[in-house]
Structure 1
Amino acid sequence: MNSMWTVMSFTMKNKLRNRAFVITTIVLALLMVVAANVPTFLDKFASGGGPKKIGYAVGEQADIISGLEAYFAGQEEPKAQLVPIEASGTPDEQTAALKQAITDKKIRGYLTFTENEEAGFPNVTYYSKKMLDSGTAEALGTGLREVKTEQAVKEANLTQAQLSKLFDPVQLESVQISDNANGKTAEEQGTAIGLTYVVLILLFMSTMITGQLIATEITAEKSSRVMEIIVTSVSPLKQLFGKVLGTFLVGLLQLVVIVGAAVINLALPQNQASLQSLGIRLDSIEPNMIIFAIVFYLIGFFLYAMLFAAVGSIVSKTEDLGQAVMPITLITLAGFYIAIFSMTHPDSSLVTVCSFIPFFSPFIMFMRIGLANPAWWEVVLSIGILAASVLLLGWLSAKIYRTGVLMYGKRPSVKELIKAMKAYKV
C-alpha cells in the first residue's frame, strides 16, 4: 500500500512541476474569467456609444416618425435615435443627401418609406454601410409595430376600456412538473440548462485531458525503459491505481482552479444581472444537481481513466499512442455529442436507451436529470450499471496493464494480448 501512495505522490509532484501543465491551467482559468465576463463586456460596449443615430428625410411620413420618436423617448435606454436630414429635390438627390449624412458621420443609416395600400402601412427600408445589429433591428421593428397598432386603433375608434383590454400583456408562466417537488420555474429551468452545459463540457474536457496524461506517462515510461526498473520495486497493479489516483487529484485541482475562477466572476453583481437577463440564477441551483454532477463526474472519470491506462500500457512508442486511443476518444465524443444535441428533446427513445450504456451514461443521464424528469429507479439503475462497469473495467484494465507493461515492440493484437495474459497467469 505504501508503494502505491509513493507512485501517487510521485505522479502528482511530476505533474505539478510540469511547466506546460501549470501554464495550461493558468490559461484555462483566464479564459474562464474572460468567458464569465463576456455578457458584461458586451453590455458595456453596446451601451457605450449610446443610441444608434438613424436618419430620415424631413417631411416624409410625419405621423410614423413622430410615433417612433415617442416610442424611443419612452424607453429608459433607447436603442435608436431619429435624426432629421434636410433632403429635398428628386428622389436621387434625396438619396444623395442621406448618403452624405452617413459619410459625414451624422447618422449610421437612414430610413425610407414605400407606400403599400394593401397593408395600409408603408414598407420601411433601412440603408447603411454596416449590417444592422439585432438589438437595433428589434427596437425598430417593435417601434414600427406600435405605431401601426396605434394608427389602427385610432381608425377603429375604440374606447379606453377596450384599449386597456387590447394592450394588457398576457401572463404566461412555464413550470416543469416534478414527481417529488412543486416543479421547476422558468428561472430554475434556465439555470438547469446552463449548469448541464457546463458540467457536460467540464466532464468531457477533464476526461480527455487527464486520460491522455495517464496514457502518455505510461507509454513514455515504457519507451524510455524506465518501466523495467519500476516493476522491480512496485507491482503493476499498484502502479496502475497510483497513477490513476495521482492524475485524478491533479486533474481535480486543475478543475477546482478553473471552475473557481468562473464561479467567483459569475458571482460579481454586474455578471449576476447579465445572467438574470438570460433567465439564469446561481442561487436557484438545486442541491441534488450538484450531487449528481459530482457522482457522474467521479464515476465517469474512473471509467475512462482505466481504459486510457490499459491502452497506454500496451503501446511502446509515444508516436503510436494517438492511434491507439482513437477508439476511446470516439466513444467519448459520441457520448458528449449525443448529450449536447439531445438537450432539446431529452425524453427521446435514443436518449433513454443511451443513458443506460456505461460509456454514454455519465453525459446523457446527467443531461436527463437536469432537463427531463427520469424516474428514481432509472437514475439508480444507470449509476449501478456505471459503477459495476467501472469495477469490471478496472479489473480487466489491471490485467491488461500487468501484461502490457512488459510487452515491447509493435502494439499487440487482442489475440496476442489474451495469449500473453494466459502465459503470465494474470
Structure 2
Amino acid sequence: MNKFWIVFWQTYSSKVKAKSFMIVTLVAVGAILLMTNINQIMDSFASDSDQNKIAVVDRTNEVFDLFNTQLLAMEEEDFTLVRAESEEGLKEQTLAGDYSAYITISYDENQLPQATYYAPTIVEGSISGAIEGALQQVKGQIAASQLNLTQEELMTLSSAVGFEKVALEENAKSEEELSSARGIVYVLLFVIYFAVIMYSAMIGSEVAIEKSSRVMEILISSISPVQQMFAKILGVALVSLTQLGIIIGVGYYSIKQNLQSLDSGFFEFFGFSNIQTSIIVYAIVFTLLGYFLYATLSAFLGSIVSRIEDLNQTLMPVQLLVMVGFFIAMYGLGNPDTVFITVTSYIPFFTPVLMFMRVSMLEVPVWEVALSIGIMLAAILLLAWFGAKVYRGGVLMYGAKNSIKEIKKALQLSKNN
C-alpha cells in the first residue's frame, strides 16, 4: 500500500508543478477576475470627456425638446445631445471625433417625426437603438395628439398584452426560475464538459508517456499495474480538485467583493446573482462521477498505446462520447422534459451532463437522481474491473496497433500474469 501512495503523490506533484497546470490555472483565474471586476475596469478608463456627444439637427423646430426629455426619462447616460443649427461641417466634425454621431430630424408625409443617424461606423448598436426607442416614444406622443388621444389612452394602446405561464405540476419551477436555471446550466455544462474531457485525457497521456519512455518496465516490477492505475486516477483527481478549488476560491472571493456591481450584466443574464446551493452541489457530484468514469476508460485505453503519437486516435471514442452528451444537453436546454432526454440521462456516459441539466431545470424526483447516480457508480465499478484487467496486460504490450484486437491481447496477458 505504501507503493500505491508513492505513485499517487508522484502523479499529483508532477502534474501540479507542470507549466501547463500553472498556465491553465492563471488563465482561468485571470478570466474570472476580469469578469467580476469588469465594471470597475470600465469605469477606470471612463471619464466625463469620454462621454459621447451627438449633434441633432431638428428641421421641425419642435421635436428636439420632446426627444431630449424622453432620453432623460430613459436615464440614458452614455451620451448627450447637442443641438446644431445646420448640417454644415457636421460630417467633418464627426469624422474628426468632435461628435460620436449626428442626427437629422424631419417630418414625414403624415407630419410624424423621422430621423437619419450618421456615424463613422454603425457597428455599435446600443446608442442608435436607444435613440430609435426614444424617437419612437416621441412619435407616439405626437400621433396621439393628432388623434386627440389622452396620455392614459395612449398608454393603454401601447401597453404589453397580459400573458402568463402557469405550470400545473406540483412544485414545478416558475418561468423566472426556469430562465435563471437555464443560464446557470448553460455555463456549468461547459465547466463539466471541459473538466471531464481535460482531466480524463490527462490520465491516458500520463500512462502513454511512461510506457513510451520505458519507465513502465521499472514501475511494474515494483508495484502491481492495478495499484498503479488507481493511484494515477486518484492522483489526477486530486490535481483537478486542487485546480478547481483555486479557481472557485478566487471566484467566490472576487464575487463577494464585487457583489453589488454584479447585479447586472453577465451574472444577471446567466442567473448567477440568484444561484441555488443545490445546483452547485449537483455540479460537483456529477463532475466527479463523470471524471472517474472517463478517467478509468482513458487509463486502460492509454495502456494499449505504444507511442504517444497514437494517443489522440486511441482516445477519440472517449472524446466523442463526451461531445455527444454535451450536444444532447444543448438540445435539451430548450426541451428538458422530453422522453429522449429523460431516457438518455440514464446512460452512464451521458448522465453527468444530462441528469445535471434535468435536476437543475426540472423538479426531478429524488429516486430518479439516486437511480442515475447508482447506475453511474455501477458503471464505474464495472469499467474499473474490466479496465484493471486490460491495464494489467496492456502495460506489457509494445508495438500495438490501437485496435480492439489489442484489448483482447491485453486481457490474455493479464490472465497469464
- Category of TM-score, reference length = shorter chain: 0.7 to 0.9
Residue of structure 2 aligned with 1:240, choices 211, 229, 235 = 229
Structure 2 gap segments, 5+ residues each: none
The residue matched to 1:55 in structure 2 has which SS? Answer: strand
Give the alignment partner of residue 211 of structure 1, picking from 181, 184, 200: 200
The equivalent of 1:229 in structure 2 is 218
Distance 1:83 1:318 in 2: 66
CA 104–199 in structure 1, closer or farther in 2 if over 3 Å, else same: closer
**Residues 209, 49 of structure 1: CA spacing in aligned structure 2 closer, same or farther, 3 A cutoff?**
farther
What residue in structure 2 maps to residue 379 of structure 1?
369
Match of 1:81 in 2: 80
Partner residue in 2 for 1:220: 209
What is the correspondence of 1:112-131 to structure 2 with a 5 Å cutoff?
112-113=104-105, 115-117=107-109, 121-131=112-122
The range that moved more, 364-373 or 278-287, is: 278-287
Moved more, 242-251 or 343-352: 343-352
d(CA) in 2 for partners of 1:132 and 1:63?
30
Match of 1:19 in 2: 19
The one-character-per-residue Cα deviations of 1:268-300 (angstroms, maximum 9, x if unpaired) are 135423358835665632232222112211111
1:35 alignment counterpart: 35
> Shift in Å at residue 235 of structure 1?
0.9
Query: In the TM superposition, what is the alpha-carbon distance from 1:169 to its structure 2 partner?
Result: 7.3
- Counterpart Cα distance in 2 of 1:130 and 1:270: 34
Percent of aligned pairs with the same residue?
A: 37
Root-mean-square deviation (CA), in Å?
Answer: 3.0
Does 1:260 pair with 2:259?
no
CA contact (8 A) 2:171 2:363 kept: no
**Deviation (angstroms), 1:139:** 1.2
CA contact (8 A) 2:393 2:413 kept: no
Q: Indicate conservation of the 8 Å contact 1:53/1:109, yes or no.
A: yes
Unmatched segments (≥5 aa) in structure 1: 88-93
Structure 1 residue aligned with 2:61: 62
1:146 is the counterpart of 2:137? yes
CA distance in 1, matches of 2:329, 2:40: 29
SS in 2 for 1:385: helix
**CA shift for structure 1 position 312:** 0.9
Preserved contact between residue 178 and residue 184 of structure 1 (Cα < 8 Å): no
Q: In the TM superposition, what is the alpha-carbon distance from 1:198 to its structure 2 partner? A: 3.1
Q: 3-state DSSP class of the match of 1:112? A: strand
The C-alpha deviation readout for 1:237-270, integer Å capped at 9, x for no partner, is: 1111110001100111001111222222222135
Q: TM-score, normalised by structure 1?
A: 0.86
State the partner residue of 1:356: 346
* Count of residues paired in the alignment: 415
Any conservation in 2 of the 1:216–1:318 contact (CA below 8 Å)? Answer: yes
Q: How does 1:244-323 map to 2 (within 5 A)?
A: 244-267=233-256, 268-275=258-265, 278=268, 282=272, 284-323=274-313
For 1:134, the equivalent position in structure 2 comes to 125
1:71 counterpart residue number? 70
